Structure 1
Amino acid sequence: MTTPIEDNELNAELQELYLTGKQWLSDLDFFEVEIKSVARLSVTIPGVIGLTGNPINLSQSYVLLKDEIIKFMNALGILINASEKQITVNLLEDHIRLREKAEALMTTYRAERKLVFDHYHAAGAEK
């Protein structure tokens, strides 16, 4: 169902969603180097792949999520600038889905980082 709305309050809400997307991108950019480093380390440390699964998936997930957020923000930008707003429930569903993906990626990153560094320190202690 689509509802045409012309409202300053709606513009404010859309801009807030846009700013949230910018924050997600900023957070992802902050962790980009770390995510790639952890992925590289997990490949180079013997035995880590068995612990974490496929570590390259973390970097791939990062790239895919970043692309999805950019597409979402582009769609929001078009809506914000449109004179007549055509909003669907999909907009909020997409926002929620992206938020959950961003949270899941950060949770996975933290778990992967912990496994890699725990394994690295354990391997170093054995030498």
Structure 2
Amino acid sequence: MDVLSESRLSTELQELYLQNKEWMSHVLFLEDENRFFQKLFGQKLFVIGKSHTAKQINLISESLASLQEKTVNLKKLVIKHQHLLKGILKDTSQLIGLGLIEEHAAITKEIQELLLADRLMKSKLFLMVEGN
């Protein structure tokens, strides 16, 4: 591999690493937001219960729990990926396989799906809370 190719690869790896750090900020935000929504839901539960069925309340509660679980799992994956990228950037002799790019693409997809699920759950929760 020539110097130009190694330089280009290093730049692309740095971009992946920076994107990974951005993912982590999204995940941390989702963790904080989920704690806030669970607290809000808990505080408004009595009022919500007056105008919503137990099934509706359980559905939101389960959605919040599921979102939290997905966020925790995604956080672990992002941390693992970040350590991998950091190691590759420090040790340029490490081989980089297609698996790294595939994992990166999979995490990107999971982040997008989690953000969408968060927005949908938030909308449902706000409708339920504001409806009272």
TM-score normalized with structure 1 length: 0.82
Aligned 8 A contact 1:48 1:116 in 2: no
**Bigger CA drift: 92-101 or 27-36?**
27-36
Residue 6 of structure 2 corresponds to which residue in structure 1?
7
Amino acid at match of 2:34: I
Number of aligned residue pairs: 120
86, 109, 121: which one pairs with 1:100? 109
Amino acid at match of 1:48: I
Residue 85 of structure 1 corresponds to which residue in structure 2?
94
Q: CA deviation at 1:41?
A: 4.2
Where does the alignment leave 5 or more consecutive residues of structure 1 unmatched?
none
Evaluate the alpha carbon distance shift between residue 58 and residue 42 of structure 1 in structure 2; reply closer, same or farther with a 3 A threshold: farther
Structure 1 segments, 4+ long, off by >4 Å, are 40-43
TM-score normalized with structure 2 length: 0.79
Where does the alignment leave 5 or more consecutive residues of structure 2 unmatched?
50-55
Aligned 8 A contact 2:71 2:114 in 1: yes
Residue 53 of structure 2 corresponds to which residue in structure 1?
none
Evaluate the alpha carbon distance shift between residue 77 and residue 10 of structure 1 in structure 2; reply closer, same or farther with a 3 A threshold: same
Residue 36 of structure 1 corresponds to which residue in structure 2?
35
Evaluate the alpha carbon distance shift between residue 16 and residue 120 of structure 1 in structure 2; reply closer, same or farther with a 3 A threshold: same
Amino acid at match of 1:24: W
60, 74, 79: which one pairs with 1:70? 79
Bigger helix share: 2
103, 119, 124: which one pairs with 1:115? 124
**Bigger CA drift: 44-53 or 68-77?**
44-53
Q: CA deviation at 1:16?
A: 0.6
Aligned 8 A contact 2:10 2:89 in 1: yes
Identical positions, percent:
25
Q: CA deviation at 1:40?
A: 4.4
- 1:89-125 deviations in Å (ceiling 9; x for gaps): 1101100100111111111011001001101122x1x
Aligned 8 A contact 1:15 1:80 in 2: yes
**RMSD of the TM alignment (CA)?**
2.3
Evaluate the alpha carbon distance shift between residue 50 and residue 57 of structure 1 in structure 2; reply closer, same or farther with a 3 A threshold: closer
